Chain A
């Protein structure tokens, strides 16, 4: 099998994970797609350096680094309003976040559109390191060890970020749900 075919066979299954991570870090679909494409190209060029059995953490680490570089570049652009501010300005409505989910899954049926909007809003308020740990754990199902490799931090840091991130997320969600209930009344 040639190098390209082998890379595609191993890397393309991680496309959703890569896009999810990029999207939740930069929260812009066009930018997330650019980051994913760039990451896959870089990964392909450096494919020989990936010696591990599982390509996913390695690939996600590349996505993550590019996303952070993009975030840093956006921060430098002073005339751009931070999305964080834009989102928190209309917290509760959640309409600032465009969900990339394409079709209704089993989870979608369990958890309604309104609830997902609130979760998305709460997630957007988390600092990126917490958000990324939660994304990698809850959605991509990475082990602590793999998350540590992707984020380039010790396992202990991953555990504390997850724990603090979950606590913040839970508290914020509770607030948002209560607020919505009040608004409904």
Chain B
């Protein structure tokens, strides 16, 4: 083996990274070559010298790292860290507190379950009551609006049987375009339209006639997109019918019978 070739491999030799034939070759060369033998001795001495400057960790670092790890582990589990009991007084205090906590634990759990149950029950009651209340208020609102319009000289603000007169009248007065249909052929001539106020908002009200009866159809955009089938009810002798379709909620109020009211609903 040539000197140049061997020289570059002496490092690998002392690092134990040579094996088999290459290792034997380099070893043999180093034995026979004075300069390479010196290089090997120098590198070995360098190894010892460097090994002597190892910066070992100070003893306190191990404790510090352990404490940090315990905190992290506790944080992951979501509990308090097991505090390293350094002083005996601290240890006693922590021990007492821990024992107290353990004995309170089943009781606290029961209390928590009862508390959550109460909360759920209260929320459910409030939800049901509020829902029922809303519905009743809405029915009364609709009926009142209908009856009040009949008490006045004219139940409409824009009197026209022409849909192209009535529909544009709403533009700018409310923030949606109401469905206006000319149902004269079906026996429900359009009397006109007006604005009304139901459930805290401005709504469109269209008035249709059936013989001597008036039908007010209120409409406003629904909160949800779902369509609901017509549901009818009777209040103070008036018939109400509500449904939602195409993102709008409709309420029809009239002293007309339910059958004819449904007939109108089917046409809209």
Chains A and B belong together in one complex: yes
**Cross-chain contact A19 with B48 (CB below 8 angstroms):** no
B22-51 contacts to A (CB < 8 Å): 42-43, 46-51
**Cross-chain contact A139 with B73 (CB below 8 angstroms):** no
Q: Give chain B nearest CB distance to A42 CB in angstroms.
A: 10
Q: Give chain A nearest CB distance to B204 CB in angstroms.
A: 61
- Alpha-carbon gap, A32 to B59, bound state (A): 14
Selecting from B10-18, B172-180, B252-260, the interface stretch reads: B10-18
- Alpha-carbon gap, A51 to B113, bound state (A): 42
- Alpha-carbon gap, A3 to B75, bound state (A): 13
* Given A8-B69, A40-B68, also A33-B61 (CB < 8 A): yes
**Cross-chain contact A36 with B52 (CB below 8 angstroms):** no
Which of B51, B61, B70 interacts with A36 by CB under 8 Å?
A: B61
Q: Is A170 an interface residue (CB 8 A)?
A: yes
Q: Is B211 an interface residue (CB 8 A)?
A: no
* Given A8-B66, A15-B65, A37-B64, also A23-B46 (CB < 8 A): no
Which of A40, A111, A163 interacts with B11 by CB under 8 Å?
A: A163
Q: Is B58 an interface residue (CB 8 A)?
A: yes
| Complex interface: chain B residues within 8 A of A144 (CB) | 12, 15, 17
**Cross-chain contact A16 with B56 (CB below 8 angstroms):** yes
- Alpha-carbon gap, A36 to B58, bound state (A): 12
Q: Which residue of B lies closest to A14 (CB)?
A: B57
Q: Is A120 an interface residue (CB 8 A)?
A: yes
| Complex interface: chain A residues within 8 A of B55 (CB) | 19-20, 23-24, 29, 32, 99-101
Q: Is A50 an interface residue (CB 8 A)?
A: no
| Complex interface: chain A residues within 8 A of B73 (CB) | 3-4, 44
- Alpha-carbon gap, A19 to B60, bound state (A): 12
* Given A107-B52, A144-B15, A166-B43, also A19-B69 (CB < 8 A): no
Which of A108, A134, A159 interacts with B12 by CB under 8 Å?
A: A159
**Cross-chain contact A166 with B72 (CB below 8 angstroms):** no
| Complex interface: chain B residues within 8 A of A23 (CB) | 55
Q: Is A62 an interface residue (CB 8 A)?
A: no
Give chain B's interface residues, CB within 8 Å of chain A.
8, 11-12, 15-17, 42-43, 46-59, 61-62, 64-66, 68-70, 72-73
- Alpha-carbon gap, A116 to B66, bound state (A): 31
| Complex interface: chain A residues within 8 A of B72 (CB) | 41, 44-45
Q: Give chain A nearest CB distance to B117 CB in angstroms.
A: 34
Q: Is A157 an interface residue (CB 8 A)?
A: no
Q: Is A58 an interface residue (CB 8 A)?
A: no
Q: Give chain B nearest CB distance to A105 CB in angstroms.
A: 8
**Cross-chain contact B62 with A123 (CB below 8 angstroms):** no
Q: Give chain A nearest CB distance to B131 CB in angstroms.
A: 48
Q: Is A12 an interface residue (CB 8 A)?
A: yes
A115-142 contacts to B (CB < 8 Å): 115-116, 119-120, 123, 134-135, 137-139
**Cross-chain contact B56 with A111 (CB below 8 angstroms):** no
**Cross-chain contact B11 with A162 (CB below 8 angstroms):** yes
Q: Give chain A nearest CB distance to B198 CB in angstroms.
A: 59
**Cross-chain contact A134 with B50 (CB below 8 angstroms):** yes
* Given A107-B51, A144-B15, also A33-B64 (CB < 8 A): yes
Q: Give chain B nearest CB distance to A179 CB in angstroms.
A: 16
Most chain B beta-carbon neighbours within 10 Å: one of A107, A119, A138: A138
A147-180 contacts to B (CB < 8 Å): 159, 162-163, 166, 169-170, 173
Q: Which residue of A lies closest to B66 (CB)?
A: A8
**Cross-chain contact A116 with B15 (CB below 8 angstroms):** no
| Complex interface: chain A residues within 8 A of B47 (CB) | 138
**Cross-chain contact A102 with B11 (CB below 8 angstroms):** no
Given contacts A110-B52, A143-B15, A166-B11, 11 further A-B contacts (CB under 8 A): A7-B69, A24-B55, A36-B57, A101-B52, A102-B58, A107-B48, A107-B51, A139-B54, A144-B17, A170-B43, A173-B49
- Alpha-carbon gap, A162 to B47, bound state (A): 12
Q: Give chain A nearest CB distance to B113 CB in angstroms.
A: 29
Q: 7 interchain pairs (CB within 8 A)?
A: A15-B61, A115-B52, A137-B15, A138-B51, A159-B11, A166-B43, A170-B42
